[in-house]
Structure 1
């Protein structure tokens, strides 16, 4: 029996030295988004919440803006409605956004995001070298949803930031990519702009005043897409966006 055991051990040793065993995926965790973008040096928002006392006129204005938000909904501007309602709700809590919907509704954003993802993934691919895996997190990029691209997102969010994070992992002879897209924005109404929704016209300052009076509140919009998995990433080849296929919800 000892002879058989020794023979088996020698055979196993020879096989392990002669045959390349398949790479076992360790399912590397995808990092979260980068730190929140710094607000501009000039400030972001109209001022300190609740720094002024509200009057009857302010409460009447708030009622008016609830009506404007509902009107936006009847016009199909659902995201604009929801975000304004959240502002008027005065909680200050973060508001989630569905990144896939933004990519679908904003074709120019979709193009910009696809090029950005391809570039970041290629840099991660080139950094692999002799390593089996790597994780990456991009910096924030800026995008502005204009009226002619989507009235809904123009009123709902306007300018925002986006980033991508993901992993690269060697799996046999291939390199697998997994990534997610992140969106960030500070929802506020400051001075110097105006808005027309349906029959209503108002100055941004009017809505911003409700924040100063403590009866509405600025907040942060955040969103992270589902995971997109590419089993055989190659630099230069188009990568599917979240919602286009190859997505894996976590």
Structure 2
């Protein structure tokens, strides 16, 4: 016998983990982003600190900061897919919508163009949103995230992390997962109003407390990502005005879903990870880099990649 259980020492005093049970849990990371986030949340704060130090890049890529919020579309949209007979007018509407989407790409509303073409393709597949670009383009969206999700929560998150740090003896790195309550808001910039409009949003991440090397105050930092969810659909009784003075009745666009020429779909995405120093008293600011404006809806930089 080598004195270990699943590769971990039987004697917990010889292990950096708080207990043998924690050592076992640390060694069994599940698969799937939501499962990983749940596993991460179930670990001891000290265990998280050890794992992040040893396997930080792997854990971040696996989804330890992924949101646990269970989003569901708040409205039924246009109802069942492909249940009505197509008419010549429906085919004409579809061709007109394709032309409008192409025009949006031409004038720079790439996000709106990409999303409409996804709808008109009829696949119904989930679309990944480029949240970094949304943050860069829409100042109201960015400031809302800063105030409603970061400023409103940072004091409570800091205190909770410090409580865990002191409970662990004040000499070990601890990490607590954090997630703000989801809020339903509407994007206001022209492109993102047309591309997404009303949506659900929140922030998820972690607060890390690291002891000072010289016995001073510990370092406290917040790593977070911005998350967005929406359903691309059309509601009766509404209309959307597009560049060039073109107005589309939502009922007409929704009918394309009912006759099988287009299909509603879910949209979701998460931003890059941002970091904020919680030792000071400055308000957190979201500072996305300029994603650029080159290319078209097919570019990876436009959000076609795997959701971050």
Q: Compute the TM-score of the two structures, normalised by the length of structure 2.
A: 0.65
List aligned pairs for 1:66-81, cutoff 5 A: 66-81=98-113
Residue 124 (structure 1) aligns with: 157
Q: How do residues 229-244 of structure 1 correspond to structure 2 at under 5 angstroms?
A: 229-230=275-276, 232-234=277-279, 236-243=281-288
Moved more, 71-80 or 82-91: 71-80
Alignment of 1:34 with 2:73, yes or no, is no
Deviation at 1:25, TM superposition (A): 5.2
What secondary structure does 1:35 align onto? coil
Corresponding residue for residue 137 of structure 1: 179
Q: How many residues align?
A: 217
Instruction: Please say if 1:186 is aligned against 2:231.
Output: yes
- The equivalent residue for 2:268 is 222
The 5 A counterparts of 1:89-104 are: 89-104=121-136
Deviation at 1:244?
5.4
Q: CA RMSD in A?
A: 2.1
Query: What SS does the corresponding residue of 2:236 show, helix, strand or coil?
Result: coil
Radius of gyration: which is bigger?
1
Note the C-alpha offset of 1:109. Answer: 1.2
Who is 2:294 aligned against? none
Relative to structure 1, the CA distance from residue 111 to residue 208 in structure 2 (aligned partners, 3 Å threshold; closer, same or farther) is same
Distance 2:280 2:51 in 1: 23
Unmatched 5+ stretches in structure 1: 1-23
Which of 168, 193, 208 is matched with 2:254 structurally?
A: 208
TM-superposed deviation, 1:215: 1.3
2 CA distance for matches of 1:244 and 1:119? 24
**TM-score after normalising by structure 1:** 0.79
Structure 1 residue 235: Cα displacement: 6.3
Q: Secondary structure at the match of 2:222?
A: strand
**Cα 1:71/1:63, change in 2 over 3 Å:** same
2:179, 2:203 within 8 Å by CA — same for their partners in 1?
yes
> What's the CA shift string for 1:25-83, capped at 9, x where partnerless?
5327533123343333xx33111111212223212211111011112222221111111
Q: Is the 8 A contact 1:118 1:236 kept in 2?
A: no
Q: 1:44 aligns with which of 76, 93, 96?
A: 76
Is the deviation greater in 24-33 or in 203-212? 24-33
8 Å CA contact retained: 1:143, 1:162:
yes
Residue in 2 that maps onto 1:175: 220
Which whole-Å deviations, capped at 9, do the CAs of 1:172-230 have from their partners, x for residues lacking one?
Answer: 22112211110111110111111222142221111100001111000111110111133
- Residues 82-136 of structure 1 deviation map (CA, whole Å, 9 limit, x = unaligned): 1100100111111111111111111111111011223233322111203322111
Shift of 1:137: 1.8
* 3-state SS, counterpart of residue 26 of structure 1: helix
Structure 2 residue runs of 5 or longer lacking an equivalent are 1-48, 166-173, 212-217, 291-307
User: 2:81 is paired with a residue of what secondary structure?
Assistant: coil
| Greater RCO (CA < 8 Å, at least 6 residues apart) | 1
